[in-house]
């Protein structure tokens, strides 16, 4: 049964004020179009969860969507700091921002525990790190078989997961390649799942390569077809990261005024991602790479 | 003046600390250059893994981040991040991890979290990312940083990534599986850790650097190896690979 | 660095008497050729581990290779019981056989724990089952975060994993599609890994589809190229299961004499898998299916 | 004589217990026929999952085992077994699981492990496979078995897969997430479980079966619903789909 929706519909229907929202994608597949729609819809008091807040949460924090941040590395990858997040954490500007901090492993493991529906998972990580001192969610656990002392993190089940992918069918059967990050764990951890894709394909195409399917349709509440929906991040095989923008963001976000001006022009100032794309113009097409196709494999019997 | 840059010395010095066939957790910048230099010279069988999940990457240009698309095209494999951390790092399959940070202290503990108090920070830094688990779980860690007084306090403001903690056998007492930091490569020299106390010891100075410079930029009375050696200069072959293959003229840095 | 080896070399070099040997593959990719070589080499006192012992362990038990069996479902799938395993468990014929029994979930989780190098993993399974009464390895554990009582299993790290796959390069970078069972977990759980493939392909081909790689080469100790090495089980895209043989095995294995005669003719009576294949003859070719190719995807940037 | 077989009654009865859109853990044999019948009639959106990891299978012939190659070709997805058990079953995403066994008792506990003593068995059976976790974790379980006295003891020799244990709220007390058995479909009739005691109650007899037959083949004094209904016969449409589409003349059974 078709789960196709517009971005407006999907965000208003499946993301509520006060929700815990995981918007994942490690450098790859960051759902910027969804974030911009949530900013336009003035969603408030969200607990935003990502390993790497990246520009997407820098923008949402600056726009006032967030009450709390759960993260493990808050920087502009390969460029510098996240100025809006830093202003919120250091000077409570524009508003105080609660936060909860892990390492990548720790936060990924919280998603995995929720996906598996166990209340915790054990790890050999964390010993000696001050993270355990400042984060009471990292607790010791004793192995009932060997008596070893390990550390553990609790499950984290977001109210909603927003995940970008290369393609899906109308039912939401979603295929991803390239870096997969924690996409699968988040999709199974969350109560509701919204998938945004570069293209909707026939179920026949999905069925021709079942090992490529990362999220089964019955786990998905809505599928949004939004080409270039991950810009300025990238989608393997579709377009590369707009690194110039990541570098430019350092300037834009350095003071609240220029950041506000950016939001006015590129988020509030456009109706949707299509208008955003028209405004970005040819620069988008220049991000398209040369095709590098894999060889088909045989699923016959 | 030597005909090579300080960065080139740092890269070649780091590259020489790798052994052929090792599995290396790579970052961007100097570690990326060092690993790729080693692979093209003494260590053809080095396996590169990025915490993003790219395995055996063969980047056609210098990656701009550890999640860069060029790390996937033509890679040997891709795995999810829970797999990277559990099946590779925690499983003990990573021989070498590269780390840096805003602060490193006399026992090799690293801080990438905050300057000042955690709850009222003077400066809020990015945080751990994968650094805490690399420090805890990699068989050995190579630290690459610029040598500045503010970066080398006697004690870091926050231990994001455990080195030897309070020194001695503190790591073993806490049951940390990884071996801890093997060396610190700075823009002035190379430091290692004393086998017993696990305190940092200046082992060599880069060509042109002085002991005074190092001590002035270190926040505690630094132990110095005797004899204090001079770091070996990059060879012509290393410089050639570095300049012609890894950083093609006009190529991204 | 090439890890190519013949089956004889790989089995004699990497499997020792007394080892704990995991030979996985759920219906799909069962490494029969390796089992036959181990029988020919008269390997003894093995602890054999598989979710489903299947015909492969029925044969190894009858041949006297096994001291102990660790399993979760000991039957002939879709046909009936495993007669040799039953004789060993019920009548200690030809010799007593120790065993340790789990559910599929429990045994899969033991492999996963070892792959992740944690001494245990928690589960909501097992409550109320007599499995916890007869298997002391299933122990309770309390969640340090919620106080919930769960059950747990200890890590199981085999001395050697023997895994069949569609293809690998000479370095052992291995790609699998179709049912993957617990292949990845076993490959990371084991101390040594031997991969048997239908074909050796160029590293270039592997690199054209990195998401298809299940086992990285540096985890692999030896790669054996053995076409039809999984017969009478199947390899998706290469040949289907020889179901007639699975049915016939019920007859063959019903009494020790006919089973011994089978081993004499088809295992001891052949030098290697190639001779076995020549003896099976055209029946093998009839198991080849029609090709059903997937569409290539684009890895460009 | 009715113009349909007992197996056809069992299949259609099981099929009618499924609701459209449900996610079903399928076995081979009658459950496989029931699920595919339901999908082709009242429940077009049923999702089929096999514990082997095949999701949304569209088998072109009847699968001979739960790991059959036909379950993969043209499937919607494939996942590893650790994922199947953790992310699907333990996650609570499986609405219905089908189970059978050598023995089922008055509280719906199932035995597929041993007849007699565990350590000195009269007969050693295959064991749990995925049955224990399906019984523990599926939202509801449908049991399909032939009704024989030796298969319906008052107490199973070994609880491989927990039903309602000693009855009442025993499942909740042990914290079992799944809902437990919803019905037992035999070759003689349909049995359900009393909401309070959780003891088996004969709800309907298949056409031609008698209460005496059922009681003779049950190892305890069976509770009987009043009125005791007759199981609805297969409709012509159901029989057509079953005979022409699912078991094509000469097709494997």
B251 touches chain A (CB under 8 A): no
* Nearest in space to B139 (alpha carbons), one of B66, B88, B64: B88
pLDDT tens sequence across A139-178: 999 999 999 999 999 999 999 999 999 999 999 999 999 9
pLDDT tens sequence across B189-223: 999 999 999 999 999 999 999 999 999 999 999 99
Q: Which of C118, C210, C300 sits opposite B77 (nearest CB)?
A: C210
A129–B136 CB contact, under 8 Å: yes
A240 touches chain C (CB under 8 A): yes
Which residue in this structure is represented by tokens 């969804």? Answer: A34
Which pLDDT does position D170 carry in this prediction? 97
Q: Where are the beta strands (DSSP E) in B27-113?
A: 47-50, 54-55, 77-78, 96-99, 103-104, 110-111
B235 touches chain A (CB under 8 A): no
Chains D and B contact (Cβ–Cβ under 8 Å for 3 or more pairs): no
Q: Please determine, for the modelled complex, whether the ipTM score is greater than 0.95.
A: yes
Cα–Cα–Cα angle for B134, B40, C214, nearest 5°?
A: 55
Residue A232, preceding peptide bond in cis (omega within 30° of 0): yes
Where chain B has pLDDT below 50, the residues are 249-253
pLDDT tens sequence across A23-55: 999 999 999 999 999 999 999 999 999 999 999
Which residues on neighbouring strands pair with residue B54, listed in sequence order? B78
B130 touches chain A (CB under 8 A): yes
Q: What is the distance between the alpha carbons of residues A227 and C95, in angstroms, rounded to a whole number?
A: 65
pLDDT tens sequence across D1-50: 569 999 999 999 999 999 999 999 998 889 989 999 999 999 999 999 99
Q: What is the DSSP letter of B140?
A: E
B249 touches chain A (CB under 8 A): no
In this model, does residue D85 exceed pLDDT 80? yes
Q: What is the distance between the alpha carbons of residues D60 and C290, in angstroms, rounded to a whole number?
A: 13
pLDDT tens sequence across D119-176: 999 999 999 999 999 999 999 999 999 999 999 999 999 999 999 999 999 999 999 9
pLDDT tens sequence across D203-252: 999 999 999 999 999 999 999 999 999 999 999 999 999 998 887 644 43
CB C73, CB C95: distance < 8 Å? no
* Nearest in space to D107 (alpha carbons), one of D21, D193, D44, D214: D193
* Distance set, CA D30 to CA C38, D67, D109 (Å): 38, 16, 20
pLDDT band per the 50, 70, 90 thresholds, residue A81? very high
Phi-psi region of B9 (alpha: psi -120 to 50; beta: other; left: phi over 0): alpha
At B15 the three-state DSSP class reads: helix
Which residue in this structure is represented by tokens 């297969």? Answer: D234
Which residue in this structure is represented by tokens 């080469």? Answer: C217
Q: What is the distance between the alpha carbons of residues B56 and C218, in angstroms, rounded to a whole number?
A: 10
Which pLDDT does position B1 carry in this prediction? 52
The reply to whether D244 belongs to the active site is: no
At D34 the three-state DSSP class reads: helix
D92–A117 CB contact, under 8 Å: yes
D54–A116 CB contact, under 8 Å: no
Which pLDDT does position A241 carry in this prediction? 97
A127–B68 CB contact, under 8 Å: no
* Distance set, CA C193 to CA C3, C54, C173, D51, D128 (Å): 11, 21, 12, 25, 28
Nearest residue of chain A to residue B67 (CA atoms): A27
* Nearest in space to D4 (alpha carbons), one of D246, D200, D252, D243: D243
Q: Which of C86, C90, C127 sits opposite D175 (nearest CB)?
A: C127
* Nearest in space to D95 (alpha carbons), one of D38, D15, D29, D179: D179
* Nearest in space to A107 (alpha carbons), one of A37, A150, A159, A48: A48
Q: What is the distance between the alpha carbons of residues B215 and B63, in angstroms, rounded to a whole number?
A: 34
Q: Which of C118, C184, C210 sits opposite B75 (nearest CB)?
A: C210
Q: Which of D125, D130, D159 sits opposite C104 (nearest CB)?
A: D130
pLDDT tens sequence across A120-133: 999 999 999 999 99
Q: What is the pLDDT along chain C (301 residues), one digit of tens a residue?
A: 899 999 999 999 999 999 999 999 999 999 999 999 999 999 999 999 999 999 999 999 999 999 999 999 999 988 999 999 999 999 999 899 999 999 999 999 999 999 999 999 999 999 999 999 999 999 999 999 999 999 999 999 999 999 999 999 999 999 999 999 999 999 999 999 999 999 999 999 999 999 999 999 999 999 999 999 999 999 999 999 999 999 999 999 999 999 999 999 999 999 999 999 999 999 999 999 899 999 999 999 9
Interface of B with A in 49-88 (CB under 8 A): 51-54, 64-69, 71-74, 78-82, 85-86
What token pair was written down for A78? 């390969």
D69–C75 CB contact, under 8 Å: no
Q: Where are the beta strands (DSSP E) in chain D?
A: 23-26, 47-50, 54-55, 77-78, 96-99, 103-104, 110-111, 114-116, 121-124, 140-144, 181-185, 189-193, 200-205, 223-230
- Give chain B positions within 8 Å (CB) of C174: none
D124–C89 CB contact, under 8 Å: yes
Number of Cβ pairs closer than 8 Å across A and C?
155
At C295 the three-state DSSP class reads: coil
Which residue in this structure is represented by tokens 């003593």? Answer: D117
What are the backbone angles phi and psi of residue A20, rounded to the nearest 5°?
-90, 120
Nearest residue of chain A to residue D48 (CA atoms): A218
Which residue in this structure is represented by tokens 């081979």? Answer: D28
Largest Cα–Cα separation, chain C: 63
Cα–Cα–Cα angle for B194, B198, B200, nearest 5°?
A: 70
Q: What is the distance between the alpha carbons of residues D8 and C294, in angstroms, rounded to a whole number?
A: 37
Which pLDDT does position C29 carry in this prediction? 98
Q: Which of A116, A218, A301 sits opposite D69 (nearest CB)?
A: A301
Which pLDDT does position D2 carry in this prediction? 66
Interface of C with A in 24-53 (CB under 8 A): none
Q: What is the distance between the alpha carbons of residues D125 and D102, in angstroms, rounded to a whole number?
A: 8
B86–C115 CB contact, under 8 Å: yes
C151 touches chain A (CB under 8 A): no
D112 CA to centre of own chain: 14
pLDDT band per the 50, 70, 90 thresholds, residue D59? confident
- Give chain C positions within 8 Å (CB) of A152: 144-145
Q: Which helix (H) or strand (E) holds B57?
A: none
What token pair was written down for C67? 């001291």
What token pair was written down for B165? 């903690």
Chains adjacent to B (≥3 CB pairs closer than 8 angstroms): A, C
Which pLDDT does position A1 carry in this prediction? 83
Which pLDDT does position D28 carry in this prediction? 83
Q: What is the distance between the alpha carbons of residues A219 and A171, in angstroms, rounded to a whole number?
A: 10
- Give chain B positions within 8 Å (CB) of A177: 78
How many other C-beta atoms can be found within 10 angstroms of the C-beta atom of residue D125? 22
The active-site residue, picked from D51, D133, D199, D238, is: D51
> Per-residue DSSP letters for C42-88?
T--SEEEE-SS-HHHHHHHHHTT-EEEEEES--EETTTEE-HHHHHH
A209–C124 CB contact, under 8 Å: no
- Give chain C positions within 8 Å (CB) of B93: 218-219
D77–A301 CB contact, under 8 Å: no
| D173 CA: distance to closest CA in chain C (Å) | 10
Interface of C with A in 111-140 (CB under 8 A): 117-124, 137, 139-140
Nearest residue of chain C to residue A118 (CA atoms): C123
Nearest residue of chain A to residue D88 (CA atoms): A116
Q: Which of C209, C291, C300 sits opposite A300 (nearest CB)?
A: C291
Q: What is the distance between the alpha carbons of residues A138 and A113, in angstroms, rounded to a whole number?
A: 13
Three-state secondary structure along chain A?
CCCECCHHHHHHHHCCCCCEEEECCCCECCCHHHHHHHHHCCCCCEEEECCCCHHHHHHHHHCCCEEEEEECCCEECCCEECHHHHHHHHHCCCCCCEEEECCHHHHHHHHHHHHCCCCEEEECCCCCCCHHHHCCCCEEEECCCCCCEEEEEECCCCCEEEEEEEEECCCCCEECCCCCCCHHHHHHHCCEEEEEEEEECCHHHHHCCHHHEEECHHHCCEEEECCCCCCCCEECCCECCCHHHHHHHHHHCCCHHHHHHHHHHHHHCCCCHHHHHHHHCHHHHHCCCCCCECCCCECCC
Q: What is the distance between the alpha carbons of residues B165 and B169, in angstroms, rounded to a whole number?
A: 9
- Give chain A positions within 8 Å (CB) of D76: 173, 203, 206-207, 210, 213, 216-217
Which pLDDT does position D251 carry in this prediction? 43
Q: Which of A118, A173, A207 sits opposite D74 (nearest CB)?
A: A207
D78–A1 CB contact, under 8 Å: no
CB A242, CB A25: distance < 8 Å? no
Chains B and A contact (Cβ–Cβ under 8 Å for 3 or more pairs): yes
| C188 CA: distance to closest CA in chain B (Å) | 6
A86–B28 CB contact, under 8 Å: no
* Nearest in space to D140 (alpha carbons), one of D195, D173, D94: D94
D86–A117 CB contact, under 8 Å: yes
In this model, does residue A3 exceed pLDDT 60? yes
CB C102, CB C125: distance < 8 Å? no
The active-site residue, picked from B8, B22, B51, B238, is: B51
């Amino acid at each position: 049964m078709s789960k196709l929706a517009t971005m407006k519909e999907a965000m208003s229907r499946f993301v509520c004020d006060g929700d815990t929202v995981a918007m994942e994608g490690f450098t790859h597949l960051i759902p910027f179009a969804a974030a911009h729609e949530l900013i336009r819809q003035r969603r408030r008091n969200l607990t935003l969860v990502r390993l790497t807040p990246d520009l997407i949460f820098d923008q949402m924090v600056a726009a006032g969507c967030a009450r709390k941040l759960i993260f493990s590395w808050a920087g502009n990858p390969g460029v510098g700091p996240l100025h809006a997040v830093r202003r919120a954490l250091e000077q409570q500007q524009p508003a105080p921002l609660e936060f909860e901090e892990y390492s990548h492993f720790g936060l990924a493991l919280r998603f995995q525990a929720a996906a598996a529906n166990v209340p915790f998972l054990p790890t050999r990580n964390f010993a000696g790190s001050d993270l355990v001192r400042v984060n009471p969610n990292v607790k010791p656990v004793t192995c009932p078989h060997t008596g070893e002392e390990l550390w553990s993190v609790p499950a984290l089940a977001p109210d909603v997961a927003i995940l970008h992918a290369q393609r899906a069918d109308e039912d939401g059967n979603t295929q991803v390649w390239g870096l997969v990050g924690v996409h699968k764990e988040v999709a199974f951890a969350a109560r509701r799942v919204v998938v945004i894709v570069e293209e909707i394909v026939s179920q026949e195409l999905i069925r021709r390569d079942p090992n490529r399917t990362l999220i089964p349709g019955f786990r998905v509440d809505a599928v949004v077809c939004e080409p270039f929906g991950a810009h300025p991040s990238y989608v393997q095989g579709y377009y590369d990261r707009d690194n110039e923008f990541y570098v430019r963001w350092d300037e834009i976000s350095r003071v609240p005024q220029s950041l506000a001006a950016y939001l006015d022009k590129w988020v509030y100032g456009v109706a949707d991602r299509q208008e955003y794309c028209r405004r970005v113009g040819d620069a988008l097409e220049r991000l398209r790479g040369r095709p590098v196709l894999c060889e088909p494999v045989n699923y016959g019997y | 003046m030597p005909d090579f840059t300080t960065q080139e010395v740092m890269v070649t010095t780091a590259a020489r600390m790798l052994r052929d066939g090792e599995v290396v957790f790579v970052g961007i910048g100097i570690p990326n250059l060092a690993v790729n230099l080693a692979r093209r010279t003494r260590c053809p069988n080095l396996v590169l893994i990025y915490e993003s999940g790219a395995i055996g990457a063969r980047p056609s240009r210098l990656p701009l981040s550890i999640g860069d698309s060029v790390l996937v095209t033509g890679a040997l494999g891709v795995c999810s991040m829970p797999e990277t951390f559990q099946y590779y790092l925690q499983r003990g399959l990573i021989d070498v991890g590269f780390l840096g940070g805003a602060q490193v202290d006399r026992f090799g503990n690293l801080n990438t979290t905050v300057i000042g108090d955690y709850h009222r920070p003077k400066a809020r830094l990015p945080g751990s990312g994968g650094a805490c688990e690399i420090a805890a779980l990699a068989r050995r860690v190579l630290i690459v940083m610029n040598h500045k007084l503010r970066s080398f306090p006697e004690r870091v403001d926050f231990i994001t990534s455990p080195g030897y903690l309070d020194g001695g056998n503190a790591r073993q007492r806490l049951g940390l599986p990884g071996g801890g930091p093997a060396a610190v490569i700075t823009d002035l020299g190379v430091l290692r850790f004393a086998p017993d106390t696990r305190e940092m010891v200046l082992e060599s100075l880069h060509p042109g650097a002085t002991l005074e410079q190092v001590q002035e930029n270190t926040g505690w009375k630094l132990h110095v190896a005797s004899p204090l050696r001079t770091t070996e200069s990059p060879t012509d072959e290393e410089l050639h690979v570095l300049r012609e293959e890894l950083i093609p003229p006009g190529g991204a840095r």
